[in-house]
Amino acid sequence: MDIQPRRRVKPPRTRANRPEVISHRTRIVAYHEAGKGMREISLLLGISRDTVRLWVRRYQEESHVLTRPRPGGPRVTTPEEDELI
């Protein structure tokens, strides 16, 4: 059996981490800081008021609009190794 060193697998680029999603969240916060109401922001951007509330609150509490780290460790096996198991 040939043992090879493990390669570091890059995590998938999820939708939540894409620059356009982060900039959309930033627009929500910018509108709010400009004095627009939750309802007005939701109508301007075509999103729910709950989403507006979430990102305004998160920004107020954490001073950023980045995606929080997800629980769990990094992958240990490659997709090819998974198929063999």
Q: What is the pLDDT of residues 2-59, one digit of tens each?
A: 555 555 545 455 677 788 888 999 999 999 999 999 999 999 999 999 999 999 999 9
pLDDT one-digit tens code per residue, 54-66? 999 999 999 988 8
Domain-located, residue 55: yes
d(CA 73, CA 8): 12
Range of the domain at 35: 15-67
The reported pLDDT for the residue numbered 11 is 45
Instruction: Specify the 3-state DSSP secondary structure of 28.
Output: helix
Q: Check which CATH number belongs to the domain holding 59 and give it.
A: 1.10.10
d(CA 40, CA 29): 13
Q: How many domains does the chain have?
A: 1
DSSP 39: H
Domain-located, residue 83: no
Domain-located, residue 73: no
The reported pLDDT for the residue numbered 3 is 57
Domain-located, residue 4: no
The reported pLDDT for the residue numbered 85 is 78
- Which pTM does this prediction carry? 0.66
